Structure 1
Amino acid sequence: MIEWHRNRIWYFDMPWKRFGVPVGSRMTVIRLDDNQLLIHSPIQLTTKIQLALSKLGRVQAIVTPNLNHHLFLSEWWLAYPQATFYASPGLALKRTDLVFDQTLSSQCPPQWRGQLLQTVLRGCDVSEEVVFCDPDSQTLILGTPWPG
Structure 2
Amino acid sequence: MAHIPDGVLSLPVLVTGGAASVAAIGVAVARLRSHDIPRTAVLGAVFFVASLITLPVGPTTVHPLLNGLMGLVLGWAAIPAIVVSLFLQMIFFGFGGLTAFGVNVFNIAVPALLVALVLRPWLMRVGDPRQAGVLGAVAGAGGV
- Give the alignment's TM-score, normalised by structure 1: 0.27
Question: Which has a greater percent of helix?
Answer: 2
- Give the alignment's TM-score, normalised by structure 2: 0.27
